Amino acid sequence: MPGAVGYTAPEYLLGNSGTTRSDLFSLAIISYEMLTGQHPYDQLQKTAAKSGNTTS
């Protein structure tokens, strides 16, 4: 799975291949975080970090 779980489009998590929309999803997450200083799915990242489901 490419990227960190908190920035990965849902279709990757479901085992499907990505599309241009997948890239836009990730870009939107990064943009939101840059503008607000918070990740839109903070709880997801905390849960993933506890379970060790992250990749660099």
pTM of the model: 0.64
**Per the structure block, which two tokens stand in for 40?**
């839109």
Q: Is the dihedral of CA 31, 36, 40, 46 positive or negative?
A: positive
* Count of all residues that appear for the chain in the document: 56
Question: Mean pLDDT over all residues of the chain?
Answer: 81
pLDDT of 41: 79
Tell me the pLDDT tens digit for each residue of 13-30: 888 998 999 999 999 999
Domain boundaries, the chain: 5-51
